[in-house]
Amino acid sequence: MSRYDPSVIEPKWQSAWDKAQTFRATRDGDKPKYYVLEMFPYPSGRIHIGHVRNYTMGDVIARYKLSTGHNVLHPMGFDAFGMPAENAAMKSGGHPKTWTYENIDTMVEQMKPLGFGLDWSRMFATCDPEYYGQQQALFLDFLEAGLVYRKNAIVNWDPVDMTVLANEQVIDGKGWRSGADVERRELTQWFFKISGMAGELLDAIDSLDEWPAKVKLMQQNWIGKSRGLQFAWDLTEPTHGHDKIEVYTTRPDTLMGASFLGLSPDHPLTKALEADNPDLAAAVAEMRRGGTTEEALEKAEKLGFDTGLKVQHPLDPSWEIPVWVANFILMDYGTGAIFACPAHDQRDLDFCRKYDLPVIDTFRALENGTPVENEAFVPLKTEKVRWLNHFAGLDVATGQEAVDTTIDWMQAKGLGEGVEKFRLRDWGLSRQRYWGCPIPIVYCDTCGVVPEKKENLPIALPFDNGNEEIDFSVPGNPLDRHPTWRDCACPKCGAPAKRETDTMDTFVDSSWYYARFTAPRAETPTDPDEANYWMNVDQYIGGIEHAILHLLYSRFFARGMIKTGHLPETAAEPFNALFTQGMVTHAIFQTTGKDGRPVYHYPEDVDLRDGKGFLNDGTEVTIVPSAKMSKSKNNVVDPMHIIAQYGADTARWFVLSDSPPERDVEWTASGAEAAHKHLSRVYRVAAEAAASDAPGNDHDTALLKEMHKAIFDVTQGVESFGFNASIAKLYAFTNTVAKSKAGSAAKREAVKTLVHLMSPMTPHLAEEVWSMLGGEGLIANAPWPVADEKMLVEDSVTLPIQINGKRRGEITVAKDLDKAEVERQALAHEAVQRALDGATPKKVIVVPGRIVNVVV
RNA sequence: GCAGGUGUGGCGGAACGGUAGACGCGGCGGAUUCAAAAUCCGCUUCCCGAAAGGGAGUGUGGGUUCGAUUCCCACCACCUGUACCA
């Protein structure tokens, strides 16, 4: 009898699928279409076990849908622009393009042996000029449709390297290479007008029935709709052309608790004052130190500077409050100015205590309300509180009632306006980098800012132009330094002009690739027929880290593409269903070095015994379980080693088996070995069944009944992303088949069904066994088994009996036995009799088919 | 800081408000073997007990319920995002 040898059978079936073009996406017949897409990878160099898990999940769905009669589109590509390629060029020389395409080749070579049912003919990388040229066409159409504009934005500036830094290049407020203190600086940048769609993007979330609730909630909070009051405070003395300061507040009801008026360091008035007030300029410079992330801004120590200006309270002109500049006020939100009410906002309170500003309560708790000391009183807006001195005459009311009343009252008096605002900011797409999609804009001395003509696209990066003089030896944007690339003719007047040297944010690349996959070689961004047929993505799969930005930008882009005629109206929400999968983790094995620092050891150097790990020389290592895989911790598992050792099917089986797909899974050597043992067992059981000639007997029905239960359970698992549950059932069913004394015909049927149910996860093994047992054609194309409902019915049921909620016994009764009889039998049970000791039960709860609980 | 999530045996994890620990790993015992590997069979939450049985138990502390891993409140720890990492 032959043994299970994945190194022989896997290449064999891969070439069989290739030959039959099994996974080529086609629009044939009247079959329904199904588009399954996994978030495409960044070409970092090698595939990661996390990729294996991600693509295996997609492959299970793709193969399952193929066998349930769908035309399936399951493509693969690469998100290939971005900083790591430039970093590699800076570090080791060479060119980002060479590095990127070499990495792509390697990764494709590594993915093919995994046997994914992908339509490789559609592959592209976002750095292909054929792709980014179409992206430039989209940009021009978006510009024409009013979805793109220019304004100033704040960036991380490294004053030593004289360059813009990405957030991840700012470490503790310092530039990662220069170590210099990073400053926040303004630059003119291109923006997508996503804020104009904020309301629509928010409302449409409700229609995303097959998205995880957590992702929808995160997007809702990110868009952040609020209703508040916008109104002005008059300056007691006009200055620098300002006679009042506009503020926006979501808590206008606390107006009588105003302590000071706060300006953002980037507010126009702040900038005006800075010019002739050196002390203020110095304070603001201090406030502008550090990175631009929201986290850095929020966690920074609260700093303030008294401008000396005063404003009049809108309800009482004799009440003047000071104007401060404060570093925690964001220019991007509202009007860049606030009034502070320290009694009901912890941040304001901390600031007022630090700078000795007044704290005035406006409301207190209904019971035991005490004045605010060092903890702001911030009840839920739905909670009733007692107002101390409310101008609109409120006494006891909730915060929400007070806000509404105040807005109405202020509006009626003409003192302000109720407005809706969103937290969502416009999407800045300009990057001062080389390895990205050039922004197709030309600056002409006479014509100004001119969009490039479509017939001149793609505006290719200098390397793609055949001009390779790219210099990464100094920081900054090589396009900006390139001797000739930026020189061009003005598309409008033909005079010599200069190109935009900024490239696009890589989020742009990934915001429409799903649409491009429907017609990857089209001469326009999309082909209407193909887009109409294949859109939307029926199932999108990727990491939770993309829950907000990538998915929100894609939703925006789909709408923009509808507006510009590149997608049908029905594609406004491009992803019908979303699934967010967890990471693959691995233990870290560490010892302590002589210098006291941790030393990390590769898994292959560690011998595991009884839950402890030892090095070759007998040194025990500390095991840190379930850590994110990271090269620096030496706990990365290379899928290629696993394939060499056990085969692709084992790797696929294991990444699905041990954890629910949305959760992290820990890779363990013993788990991988167990998966391999199980696949060998299936092969053995199949070979035995193939060789057996046992006659049919009275065990046949029991086996076939179990088979139909397995069909039902496994199918349900696959349909609901419960792959680990499907696999648990498949383990159990394998056990049943192996132990069954049924005849050979029934056994062969059971084994064929077993491997059919396994085929989305372990497709090579399934094909091999299928052909061994005389299955017709490829199992990949065979129709999915259907459970016979008659075989699922059980006629009796075992009910646990609880006494006071604790399980004390069980009874087996006919499935539809009536409640009174179940109760009678339960009470007759010896454990119940013992517990009752002659008394009558206080209560008996009978849940039909479930449980009996006797309360004594 | 803010937003979202997660927390169950020695380990990964299972459980429409209804038998907590399915399935797998590890461990223990047995079969097979000259022996081993491989394979097969059984046991395995913890504590007390020879057993029958009893007690405890799903991050912590409360609450709702006949019954809570599941629902509610407060807290702790970890993970993800935080708009220029992708």
- In DSSP notation, A615-643 reads -TTS-EEEEEEEEEP-GGGT-PPPHHHHH
CA of A588 to C1' of B7 (A): 20
Q: Nearest residue (Cα to C1') for B18?
A: A851
A70 close to A32: Cβ distance less than 8 angstroms: yes
A248's tokens: 């926006």
Type of residue found at A506? T
**Rounded to an integer, what distance in angstroms lies between the CA atom of residue A276 and that of residue A279?**
9
> Residue A663: which nucleotide is closest by CA–C1'?
B6
Alpha-carbon torsion, ordered A676, A678, A679, A684, to 10 deg: 130
* pLDDT computed for residue A1 by the predictor: 55
Peptide bond into A87 cis (omega under 30): no
Q: Which nucleotides of B are covered by protein (CB under 7 A)?
A: 1-6, 10-16, 18-20, 22-27, 38-41, 54-55, 66-68, 79-86
Q: What is the DSSP string of A564-575?
A: TTSS-GGGSS-B
Instruction: List all residues 6 or more positions away from A401 whose beta carbon is below 8 Å from its beta carbon.
Output: A394
Instruction: List all residues 6 or more positions away from A840 whose beta carbon is below 8 Å from its beta carbon.
Output: none
> Residue A430: which nucleotide is closest by CA–C1'?
B84
User: Partners of A421 in the beta sheet?
Assistant: A226
> Residue A167: which nucleotide is closest by CA–C1'?
B84
Nearest to A757 by CA among A726, A732, A728: A726
Strands A170-171 and A665-667: unpaired
A385 close to A365: Cβ distance less than 8 angstroms: yes
CA of A774 to C1' of B84 (A): 58
Type of residue found at A656? L
A801 close to A86: Cβ distance less than 8 angstroms: no
User: Partners of A325 in the beta sheet?
Assistant: A263, A305
Nearest to A735 by CA among A685, A791, A793: A685
Instruction: List all residues 6 or more positions away from A270 whose beta carbon is below 8 Å from its beta carbon.
Output: A263, A264, A280, A284, A325
* pLDDT computed for residue A430 by the predictor: 96
> Residue A86: which nucleotide is closest by CA–C1'?
B85
A280 close to A327: Cβ distance less than 8 angstroms: no
**Rounded to an integer, what distance in angstroms lies between the CA atom of residue A797 and that of residue A817?**
10
Strands A427-428 and A304-313: unpaired
Residue A206 φ/ψ, nearest 5 degrees: -60, -25
> Residue A40: which nucleotide is closest by CA–C1'?
B86
CA of A291 to C1' of B60 (A): 37
> Residue A673: which nucleotide is closest by CA–C1'?
B25
**Rounded to an integer, what distance in angstroms lies between the CA atom of residue A142 and that of residue A724?**
44
Peptide bond into A458 cis (omega under 30): yes
Q: What ranges in A568-721 are assigned the alpha helix state H?
A: 639-646, 648-657, 669-691, 700-719
CA of A804 to C1' of B56 (A): 16
* pLDDT computed for residue A422 by the predictor: 94
CA of A399 to C1' of B73 (A): 21
> Residue A807: which nucleotide is closest by CA–C1'?
B19
CA of A805 to C1' of B57 (A): 15
Q: Nearest residue (Cα to C1') for B68?
A: A805
Q: Nearest residue (Cα to C1') for B27?
A: A610
Nearest to A228 by CA among A43, A431, A410: A410
CA of A324 to C1' of B35 (A): 87
Distance of CA A704 to the CA centre of its chain: 42
Strands, E assignment, A368-463: 384-387, 396-398, 416-422, 427-428, 430-431, 441-444, 448-451
CA of A217 to C1' of B82 (A): 15
> Residue A676: which nucleotide is closest by CA–C1'?
B24
CA of A664 to C1' of B79 (A): 10
Q: Nearest residue (Cα to C1') for B67?
A: A805
**Rounded to an integer, what distance in angstroms lies between the CA atom of residue A856 and that of residue A853?**
10
* pLDDT computed for residue A75 by the predictor: 98
Instruction: List all residues 6 or more positions away from A234 whose beta carbon is below 8 Å from its beta carbon.
Output: A243, A244, A311, A312, A314, A317
CA of A439 to C1' of B73 (A): 53
Q: Nearest residue (Cα to C1') for B81?
A: A545
A280's tokens: 């203020």
A75 close to A443: Cβ distance less than 8 angstroms: no
**Rounded to an integer, what distance in angstroms lies between the CA atom of residue A415 and that of residue A247?**
12
A156 close to A819: Cβ distance less than 8 angstroms: no
The answer to whether the pTM exceeds 0.95 is no
Give the position of tokens 């070979």.
A687
Q: Nearest residue (Cα to C1') for B65?
A: A805
> Residue A222: which nucleotide is closest by CA–C1'?
B3
Type of residue found at A630? S
Nearest to A100 by CA among A121, A122, A128: A128
CA of A498 to C1' of B11 (A): 63
* pLDDT computed for residue A611 by the predictor: 60
A571 close to A535: Cβ distance less than 8 angstroms: yes
Q: Is A109 helix (H, G, I), strand (E, B) or coil?
A: helix
Q: What ipTM does the predicted assembly reach?
A: 0.93
Angle at A569 between CA A568 and CA A570, to 5 degrees: 90
**Rounded to an integer, what distance in angstroms lies between the CA atom of residue A137 and that of residue A606?**
54
* pLDDT computed for residue A833 by the predictor: 83
CA of A763 to C1' of B42 (A): 33
Count of Cβ atoms closer than 10 Å to residue A375 Cβ: 8
C-alpha distance from residue A538 to each of A78, A505, A533, A723 (Å): 20, 27, 12, 18
A457 close to A133: Cβ distance less than 8 angstroms: yes
* pLDDT computed for residue A61 by the predictor: 96
Residue A78 φ/ψ, nearest 5 degrees: -135, 135
Q: Is A247 helix (H, G, I), strand (E, B) or coil?
A: strand
Residue ranges of chain A with per-residue pLDDT less than 70: 1, 464-469, 596-598, 608-612, 623-628, 630-632
Q: Nearest residue (Cα to C1') for B15?
A: A725
Nearest to A763 by CA among A59, A51, A135, A276: A59
Ramachandran bin of A175, using left for φ above 0, alpha for ψ from -120 to 50, beta for the remaining angles: beta
A519's tokens: 């017609």
- Please compute, for residue A101, the number of CA atoms within 13 A of its CA located in the half-sphere on the CB side: 9
**Rounded to an integer, what distance in angstroms lies between the CA atom of residue A650 and that of residue A17?**
19
> Residue A429: which nucleotide is closest by CA–C1'?
B84
Instruction: List all residues 6 or more positions away from A610 whose beta carbon is below 8 Å from its beta carbon.
Output: none
CA of A619 to C1' of B33 (A): 35
Output A413-420 pairs: Cβ under 8 A, ≥24 positions apart: A415/A231, A415/A314, A415/A315, A416/A229, A416/A230, A416/A231, A416/A232, A416/A252, A416/A314, A417/A229, A417/A230, A417/A231, A418/A227, A418/A228, A418/A229, A419/A227, A419/A228, A419/A229, A419/A230, A419/A248, A420/A225, A420/A226, A420/A227
C-alpha distance from residue A367 to each of A363, A385, A397 (Å): 12, 9, 14
Q: Is A470 helix (H, G, I), strand (E, B) or coil?
A: coil
